[in-house]
Chain A
Amino acid sequence: MPPSAKPAPESTLTYADLAKREHQLSVIFNTIADVTFVLSVEPDGRYRFIFANKAFEKATGVPVDKVVGREVREVIPEPSLSLVLTKYQEAATTRERVVWQEVSDYPTGRVTGEVSVAPVFDEAGRCSQLVGVVHDLTKEKHAEEQQRLLTERLMQQNSDLQQFAYIVSHNLRAPLANALGFTDLLTRLDKDSEAYDTSVQHLRTSLQQLDQVMTDVNDILSLRDTQAGYRPEPVALAAVCQLALEGLQEALQACGGHLHNAITEGLRVAGSRAYFHSIFYNLISNAIKYRSDARPLQIDVAASEVPDGSLTITVRDNGSGFDLEKASPHVFQLYRRFHSAAVGRGIGLFLVKAHVEAMGGHISVRSQVNVGTEFTIHFKPAADENLPH
């Protein structure tokens, strides 16, 4: 019997039926949100698009009619091209589905996708086509990253709080132990002696120190409270620095020091006026406190803004400096002091760091003994402001 006479079941389908099925299939493919495409594997090992859905067009910005019929290497740019060709090759030779994650910069933005490519075989068992699907993971990745940042921040805060509790308990215990000791001593001293009067004085001082620690704790806790309601406002940096200086002018003049404020007059920065005031006040007052006796104090304050929106503020002095290597992990810790000669409770730099970080900035320090100290505060253009503080 001639082959043409063989009644095949397909032959009962009319052209209209086929067109209807084709239409249905195309509706399904174009409704799928995942990028879907079919490649023909040509005998010379090249890959050519024979189908791409609407999602493909939406993600890449390349119209479907500009894709179908073109070779993969004409459509996909490097460095993605080398990767996908390797993966296609792998799917074709292993005859298995190949899945990988890929980050691509499409005109619509950066997309993280899970790409899966499955081989299709012809009657001879040759891999003739590849069906590819890209599942958009961008949202999941973003949520994952937010989660990671949040966890990191929580861990940091938890360790800060632990350290805070340890430090506070220690700093409460020190004046308390002194007060206890003096009450013990007083019972054994002659009331008319000089030592008795001095001990009463010292008892009083110990209790004042205790009270001071409680005040510090209150300040720090209220800082955490106000941080939650922090809303950035434009702050005129030069003016705030000048204002902070006014409160210290007397101390600065008394030591014969000089401050040069090189911040551009009109520079406005998004942040908190009160925080910037505290930052300048503490850094300048530290520079005065830890000045060198060997030379007149010179303080330089500067701020530079880069076109990308990032900002760097520096406060530099020529004071006594400190051994950065020894002090480095503790410089900004509460109740840490590095100068035995000068007075200081070790709370200033702790507050400075807290204020800088509350505004999404970062502070670092360089110092050299007998040369001076330089604090650098850096603000990135858009510090992860979407995260809760």
Chain B
Amino acid sequence: MKTYLIDDDYLAIYLTEQLLRAEGFSNTICTFQSAKKALDKLLIRARENQVPQVVFLDLNMPEMNGWQFLDALAPYEEELRGSCSIYILTSSLALSDLEKSKEYELVAGLIHKPLDSGEIRAIQSQLGDGPEAA
């Protein structure tokens, strides 16, 4: 499953990537420490019809935060729907973030860090995709 990991915190990126690998979630994980760069890449891939199936998106980032990333994707909602599921992966426990996430159609769920194996499996079954060979 082609996966994007967007988080400005390199420790969180390393951790999530390792956890995903340990669960055999994906063998193509692209990591981005800047939401802006991830956005540019995703839009290029969209033109080639090669969008990632899953995006893990952090919220609290400098320059472009998670919400701004989602807002920037809004015009492409139509073509991304069904092919690209975005999971917000945040350390925030604020209820307001959960409420806000429901306003975005592309957001498939909000997960509190750290990601655990239960959640990883839930996503796999949600996307109808069993564990891949690493």
Residues of A within 8 A of B (CB): 166, 169-170, 173-178, 180-182, 184-185, 188-189, 195, 198-199, 202, 205-206, 336-340
A181 and B91 contacting across the interface, CB-CB below 8 Å: no
Residues of B close to A177: CB separation below 8 A: 12, 91, 112-114
A174 and B9 contacting across the interface, CB-CB below 8 Å: yes
Nearest chain A CB to B96's CB is how many angstroms away?
Answer: 10
Nearest chain A CB to B122's CB is how many angstroms away?
Answer: 16
- Of B39-47, B56-64, B98-106, the one touching chain A: B56-64
Q: Residues of B within 8 Å of A, CB-based: how many? A: 25
Residues of B within 8 A of A (CB): 8-9, 11-12, 14-16, 18-19, 22, 33-34, 60-63, 91-94, 112-116
Nearest to B23 among chain A residues (CB) is: A188
B33 and A205 contacting across the interface, CB-CB below 8 Å: no
A181 and B62 contacting across the interface, CB-CB below 8 Å: no
B62 and A337 contacting across the interface, CB-CB below 8 Å: yes
B9 and A340 contacting across the interface, CB-CB below 8 Å: no
Nearest chain A CB to B87's CB is how many angstroms away?
Answer: 15
Residue from A166, A206, A338, A339 in contact with B11 in the complex, judged by beta carbons closer than 8 Å: A206
Nearest chain B CB to A338's CB is how many angstroms away?
Answer: 6
Nearest chain A CB to B43's CB is how many angstroms away?
Answer: 19
Nearest to A170 among chain B residues (CB) is: B92
**Sampled A-B contacts (28; CB under 8 Å):** A166-B94, A170-B60, A170-B91, A170-B92, A170-B94, A173-B93, A174-B60, A175-B11, A176-B91, A177-B91, A177-B112, A178-B15, A178-B114, A180-B114, A181-B15, A181-B113, A181-B115, A184-B19, A184-B116, A185-B15, A185-B18, A185-B19, A199-B14, A199-B18, A202-B14, A205-B11, A338-B62, A340-B33
By secondary structure, the A interface counts as helix
Inter-chain CB contacts under 8 Å: number: 70
Residues of B close to A175: CB separation below 8 A: 11
Residues of B close to A338: CB separation below 8 A: 62-63
A195 to B134, CA, bound (A): 16
Residues of B close to A184: CB separation below 8 A: 19, 114, 116
> Which 4 pairs of residues, A with B, have the shortest CB-CB distance?
A181-B114, A177-B113, A337-B62, A174-B91
Most buried by B among A173, A175, A185, A199: A185
B12 and A178 contacting across the interface, CB-CB below 8 Å: yes
Nearest chain B CB to A210's CB is how many angstroms away?
Answer: 12
Nearest chain B CB to A52's CB is how many angstroms away?
Answer: 65
A180 to B15, CA, bound (A): 10
Nearest to B114 among chain A residues (CB) is: A181
A181 to B112, CA, bound (A): 11
Residues of B close to A336: CB separation below 8 A: 62
Residue from A173, A198, A206 in contact with B92 in the complex, judged by beta carbons closer than 8 Å: A173
A185 and B22 contacting across the interface, CB-CB below 8 Å: yes
A184 to B120, CA, bound (A): 14
Nearest chain B CB to A203's CB is how many angstroms away?
Answer: 9
Residues of A close to B92: CB separation below 8 A: 170, 173
A175 to B8, CA, bound (A): 13
A178 to B16, CA, bound (A): 9
Residues of A close to B94: CB separation below 8 A: 166, 170
Besides A189-B22, A206-B11, 16 other A-B contacts (C-beta < 8 A): A166-B94, A174-B60, A174-B113, A175-B11, A177-B114, A178-B12, A181-B16, A181-B19, A181-B116, A185-B15, A185-B22, A198-B14, A199-B15, A199-B18, A202-B14, A340-B33
Residues of B close to A182: CB separation below 8 A: 15
Nearest chain A CB to B20's CB is how many angstroms away?
Answer: 11
Nearest chain A CB to B110's CB is how many angstroms away?
Answer: 14
